[in-house]
Amino acid sequence: MKLIMLGAPGAGKGTQAKKIAEKYNIPHISTGDIFRANIKNGTELGQKAKTYMDQGLLVPDELVVDLVMDRFAQPDCENGYVLDGFPRTIPQAEALDAALEKAGAKIDYAINVEVPDENIINRMSGRRACVGCGATYHIVHIPPKTEGVCDKCQKELILRDDDKPETVKKRLDVYHEQTQPLMDYYMEKGVLVEVDGTVAMEEVFDAIVEILGA
């Protein structure tokens, strides 16, 4: 079962990817984790990626695809994987498909967690982070016992810059411009499935399980 998670920042795709990985006993793979692991282990691909990152440059698509394919070749991916945060653009999707085809494999489903922008802005602007221990809360869904104070270390809770409505709006604009075309790409491939991300987390997961089969 080879899956790709799609969805806007804050749509909850990372949470669903973890739950899918747990239920189906397949690894949850994010490109950030792949980069960190390869750099930490000093692999050839990791060193190449690091030279770009150290200069503040984006790692080229071909190198990212090489890193992803290298990760797919590991034993824990034998029964599949759930890929989160990649591909983000059409060229990346095409490069990934070409590499998979070469390896005699293909993506089974691209799962889009669909949430309107307005919901995401409200959801993310309600997040609060502790300045001390980094614990996260939500003023509606996971409120602290005392408003503005961390339950764990009693330090102040703040709204992070990247959760402010204007920042979230900018991130969503970039997402729609770059990543939205992926929906059409995977729809044409016949692998796109969509779930309503506005309902409770468990309901979203139930909808995904129904698509994938128990």
Q: Which of the residues are catalytic?
A: 13, 88, 127, 160, 171
Q: How many helices (H) and strands (E) does the chain have?
A: 9, 8
For residues 200 and 162, what is the distance between their CA atoms, to the nearest angstrom? 24
In b/e form, how buried is each residue of 18-32, taking b as 16+ CB within 10 angstroms?
ebbbeebebbbbbbe
Are the CB atoms for 103 and 24 separated by under 8 Å? Answer: no
Q: Report the alpha-carbon distance of residue 1 to residue 37 in Å, rounded.
A: 23
Q: Give me the DSSP letters along 133-154.
A: T--EEETTTB--SBTTB-TTT-
Which is it for the CA torsion 70, 110, 175, 188, positive or negative? positive
Residue 84 CA to residue 30 CA, distance in Å, equals: 5
Backbone φ and ψ of 148, nearest 5°? 80, 5
Distance CA 109, CA 74 (A): 21
